């Protein structure tokens, strides 16, 4: 009898444990989160469909100016293609297929009554074109709320499975007094939400200021990518306008004087990402990036390999060593200013065979005061840095020699280069990580990676700057037989320590 009681108790305990595990799964505490980034918001459709995986419908938090619930094709059909799905009707498709059954649409930070009524009327005009039953389903599913209202609902708790879709166009219309602060609040919300699927769309075509759009995208990628693996879609080569609204936004870009830099390039498709500034690529490097489509695989070709080469360089030269070398460059300058004449070059540096390079650059305010580099052959960093510092300060033909009275205003920048390797596609580099070397019939011109970080340059802008430095037209590399090489690089820039005594070096 005692044996049967013990067996019965064990069975009860086992059933109770199964119940606890089931509860933990159902309340979402063990949910794995999928994080997805793209330009066009329509790319979220397939990701959210896949995340449902035949389970219960999602409650969707839509953080975006547009409702994206416009009329479209029969989403239950197997004939849906990339042209049927658009950024203005994809959410309607999720409702029609039963993927989502409740949507909290946050179309701005604080919606006063006139704004709220205008948004409702806009939504009503779009769904009025649907069949009556579908229109009523959309009407019941979508609840327009502003940010304070959403936070109140959050305290009460969202029912069911949760999905969140952030469209950065929400920061362009009624974002409150500080769009950047609004973004941080939304990212805080996303991080504590326990959502199963999170999508973020840049919506480049609807960003009136590209620098703002890229900054918001980089910040979102940096924060969310630090929490979850980030999948990134780049889109295809088809950049035709999805709607009249998008077409009109392109026309507005065409009227801008910076259209070449931020107009045609700031539109959907694979080329958009070649125009992403260095801050975005830095976010990709820090968070890690999983290509989500063929276009991303092409643009990010050798991305992991290049980061590995960069990591090898970092392991070879520590931050402390980099700081010591920059200090030695400063010491070399100050010693030379105290001496009656410069030391002979052959006493300073003998080229070696190692595939490493250095550069020393002096800057005063926003103006360069000299720069000299050795692309490779650096066996002894200290000797190479000393000679580069002296050449930059006193023999760079582009600038007058540095004088003692300038020291208090000077900054020194030291760069270390890995091995330069040629690229088949000159776009295949990471802004802010790779320095580039342009070889045109044996004439070589170097542009350091630090300049991309300093000026937040894109791939295109960095290449164009390299060509200008070589004395060519910005797109010379496209039209002539030149070789562009890349090398992972480390750099450190700081003010000179002019208060130090010479004997303290």
The pTM of the full predicted model, rounded to 2 decimals, is 0.83
How high is the pLDDT of residue 345?
61
Helix H or strand E encompassing 330: helix 319-338
- Give the long-range contacts of residues 465-471, CB within 8 A, separation 24 or more: 466/436, 466/438, 467/438, 469/445, 470/438, 470/440, 470/443, 470/445
pLDDT at residue number 255: 65
Cα(209)–Cα(362) distance, integer angstroms: 33
And the tokens for 2? 């005692």
- Burial class of residue 378 in the structure, from the number of CB atoms within 10 Å of its CB (0-12 exposed, 13-18 middle, 19+ buried): buried
CB-count burial class (<10 Å; 0-12, 13-18, 19+) for 328 = buried
Length of the chain, please? 505
pLDDT of residue 22: 45
Q: How far apart are CA 45 and CA 496, in angstroms?
A: 54
The CA distance from 201 to 178, in Å, is 20
Q: What is the pLDDT of residue 17?
A: 46
**And the tokens for 104?**
């909290």
Q: Cα separation of 346 and 386, whole Å?
A: 12
CA-to-CA dists, residue 42 to 23, 50, 67, 492, 496, angstroms: 34, 14, 12, 41, 51
pLDDT of res. 328: 94
Residue 38: the pLDDT is 95
Reduced to 3 states (helix: H, G, I; strand: E, B; else coil), residue 384 is helix
Answer whether 165's CB lies under 8 Å from 3's CB. Answer: no
Inter-residue contact 111 to 148 (CB < 8 Å): no
Domains, the chain: 30-300 (3.40.800), 311-504 (3.30.700.20)
Q: In this predicted structure, what is the pLDDT of residue 470?
A: 93
The answer to whether residues 372 and 448 touch, using CB atoms and an 8 Å cutoff, is no
**Helix 147-156 and helix 179-191, axial crossing angle in degrees, nearest 10:** 20
Question: Going residue by residue through the chain (505 aa), what tens digit of pLDDT does each one get?
Answer: 555 555 555 555 445 444 444 444 444 444 689 999 999 999 999 999 999 998 999 999 999 999 999 876 555 555 555 557 788 889 999 999 999 999 999 999 999 999 999 999 999 998 988 889 999 999 999 999 999 999 999 999 999 899 999 999 999 998 999 999 999 999 999 999 999 999 999 998 888 888 899 999 999 999 999 999 999 998 866 567 777 777 777 676 666 645 444 434 566 677 788 888 999 999 998 777 899 998 888 777 778 888 889 999 999 999 999 999 999 999 999 999 988 777 666 556 667 788 999 999 999 988 999 999 999 999 999 999 999 999 999 999 999 999 999 999 999 999 999 999 999 989 899 999 999 999 998 899 999 999 999 999 999 999 999 999 999 998 898 888 899 999 999 999 999 986 543 433 3
């Amino acid at each position: 009898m005692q044996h049967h009681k013990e067996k019965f108790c064990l069975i009860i305990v086992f059933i109770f444990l199964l119940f606890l595990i089931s509860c933990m799964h159902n309340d979402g505490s063990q949910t794995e989160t999928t994080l997805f980034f793209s330009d066009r918001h329509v790319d979220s459709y397939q990701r959210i469909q896949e995340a449902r995986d035949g389970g219960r419908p999602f409650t969707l938090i839509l953080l975006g100016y547009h409702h994206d619930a416009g009329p479209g094709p029969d989403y239950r059909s197997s004939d849906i293609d990339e042209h049927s799905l658009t950024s203005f009707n994809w959410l309607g498709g999720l409702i029609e297929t039963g993927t989502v059954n409740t949507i909290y649409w946050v179309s701005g930070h604080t919606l006063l009554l006139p704004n709220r009524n205008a948004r409702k009327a806009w939504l009503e005009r779009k769904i009025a074109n649907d069949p009556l039953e579908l229109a009523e389903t959309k009407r019941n599913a979508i609840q327009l709320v502003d940010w304070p209202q959403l936070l109140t609902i959050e305290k009460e708790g969202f029912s069911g499975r949760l999905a969140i879709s952030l469209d950065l166009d929400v920061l362009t219309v009624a974002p409150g007094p500080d769009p950047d602060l609004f973004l941080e609040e939304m990212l805080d919300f996303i991080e504590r939400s326990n959502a199963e699927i999170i999508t973020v769309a840049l919506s480049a075509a609807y960003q009136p200021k590209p620098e703002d759009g890229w900054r918001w995208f980089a910040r979102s990628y940096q924060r969310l990518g630090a929490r979850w693996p980030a999948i990134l879609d780049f889109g295809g080569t088809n950049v035709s306008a999805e709607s009249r609204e998008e077409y009109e936004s392109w026309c507005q870009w065409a009227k801008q004087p910076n259209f070449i830099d931020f107009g045609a390039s700031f539109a959907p498709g694979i080329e958009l990402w070649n125009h992403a500034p260095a801050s975005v690529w830095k976010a990709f490097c820090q968070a890690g990036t999983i290509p989500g489509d063929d276009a991303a695989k092409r643009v990010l070709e050798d991305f992991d390999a290049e980061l590995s080469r960069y990591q090898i360089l970092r392991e070879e030269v520590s931050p402390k060593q980099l700081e010591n070398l920059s200090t030695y460059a400063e010491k070399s300058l100050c010693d030379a200013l105290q001496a009656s004449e410069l030391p002979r070059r052959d006493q300073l540096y003998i080229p070696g065979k190692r595939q490493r390079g250095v550069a020393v650059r002096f800057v005063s305010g926003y103006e360069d005061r000299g720069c000299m580099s050795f692309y490779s052959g650096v066996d002894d960093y200290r000797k190479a840095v000393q000679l580069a510092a002296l050449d930059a300060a006193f023999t760079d033909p582009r600038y007058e020699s540095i004088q003692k009275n300038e020291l208090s205003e000077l900054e020194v920048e030291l760069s270390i280069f890995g091995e330069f390797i040629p690229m088949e596609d000159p776009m295949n580099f990471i802004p802010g990580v790779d320095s580039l070397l342009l070889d045109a019939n044996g004439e070589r011109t170097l542009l350091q990676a630090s300049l991309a970080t300093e000026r937040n340059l894109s791939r295109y802008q960095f290449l164009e700057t390299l060509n200008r430095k070589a004395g060519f037209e910005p797109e010379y590399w496209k039209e002539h037989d030149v070789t562009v090489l890349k090398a992972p690089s480390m750099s450190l820039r700081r003010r000179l320590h002019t208060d130090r005594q010479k004997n303290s070096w």
